[in-house]
A = this chain, B = another copy of it.
Amino acid sequence: MTATENLSGRARVAEPGEGIGLDELALAARNHGLPLEALRYDVTPPGLHYVLTHFDIPAADPATWQLAIGGAVERPLTLGLDDLMRRPAVTSRVLLECAGNGRARLEPRPVSQPWLLEAVGTAEWTGTPLAPLLEEAGLSPDAVDVAFTGADHGVERGVEQDYARGLPLAEALRPEVLLVWGMNGMPLLPQHGAPLRLVVPGWYGMAHVKWLTRIEVLTEPFTGYQNARAYRLEVDADDPGEPVTRIRPRALMAPPGWPDFMTRERFVRAGAVPLAGRAWSGRAPLTAVDVSTDGGRTWEAAELAPADPAHPFAWRGWTHDWTATPGACELLVRATDAEGTQPVEAEWNRQGMANNLVQRVQVTVLEA
């Protein structure tokens, strides 16, 4: 493939059976997922939370960082980090998931960051609510969208850009949307958007713009690359597609027992094997988590921890008591929210977005 082909046009879809390429591998080595045993932590420690960076992590100096708020407002604002940190601060525990999570499990595989199912994490984000700032700036009555621009710069599918995303005004005004400078009680890490990022609880990760430098209020819908071309549910290359927005339901299991290094298949001893993990949905309240220990033929209800009013945007724990009998088996887990259940068969789309296909864990049960 020539550079011109690489750098222009739409994402490629892999040929049937085509292995992961070196370009996909380079993305997988840069970015990283949550090792699934780290589902054990209520709040994901630094370095175990997933990271997806389109371009490079910018070099940022908090002392001189400025956020400009402009566009269709009466009083444009320019704020330093100090100005923001003098405002009312809140800390919110929020589940984040990459919209491309599950992409590499689609067949045929859309060629991009090749996530399997580990592009998640839950952190404690500290910042100040966005809505009062927008109100202080004085929103135009014609405002419909708010565009958020980061300092990360590069070329994607032929388009040179600073990473930027538009958010409908009603979403931007939700009280839980934050301008964030802290993570897990510490300053933001470079790869998570230091010194300033957006957090939009309930939405896939692409909305949570990192290295935030500019907020622009728009009277027309935002038409930048990351909304108009990327992050859309397309069935083919001619389909404009629907935009990706809120996180679909998903449950993940911390694989039980011990792994094989290369295959990540699991071994457990026969008898009582506690199963546990996390579940979430950004689009509707979770209602159930179910587990199958026979490859999906039968399902049993797992114990889903009650929703915690202190952490409405965090994941929720689940547990299930499994009595393992010797032999090979396949464990599955799936979440249900008020709008539906995770699919057992993948719903394909051309960018590999919002694929919440159920997890499958291969286990060999050894004699007790």
Contact = CB atoms under 8 A, between A and B. Distances in A.
Interface string A22-44: 11111111111101011011000
A90 interface: no
Contacts of A23: 262-264
Given A29-B118, A116-B25, A154 B190 contact: no
A55 B258 CA distance: 7
A93 to B, nearest CB: 18
Contacts of A27: 262, 264
A59 B55 CA distance: 34
A47 B56 contact: no
Contact of A56 (B28, B160, B259): B259
Contacts of A26: 116, 264
A83 B95 CA distance: 38
Nearest to A264: B26
B19 A155 contact: no
A337 B62 CA distance: 37
A63 interface: no
Interface stretch (A107-115, A167-175, A280-288): A107-115
Interface string A116-128: 1010000000000
Nearest to A25: B20
A85 B45 CA distance: 23
A6 B115 contact: no
Nearest to A55: B259
Oligomer copy total: 2
A189 interface: yes
A46 interface: yes
Given A25-B116, A33-B30, A46-B46, A364 B3 contact: yes
Nearest to A362: B3
Contact of A154 (B20, B157, B258): B258
Given A32-B31, A104-B22, A154 B45 contact: no
Nearest to A12: B262
A299 interface: no
A319 interface: no
Contact of A263 (B7, B37, B160, B260): B7
Contacts of A302: none
A191 B47 contact: yes
Contact of A32 (B11, B32, B362): B32
A113 to B, nearest CB: 9
A107 to B, nearest CB: 11
A261 B20 contact: no
A189 B184 CA distance: 13
A50 to B, nearest CB: 9
A181 to B, nearest CB: 15
Given A46-B47, A262-B111, A30 B118 contact: yes
Interface string A172-206: 00000000000000000111100000000000000
The 3 nearest A-B residue pairs measured at CB: A19-B19, A32-B32, A47-B47
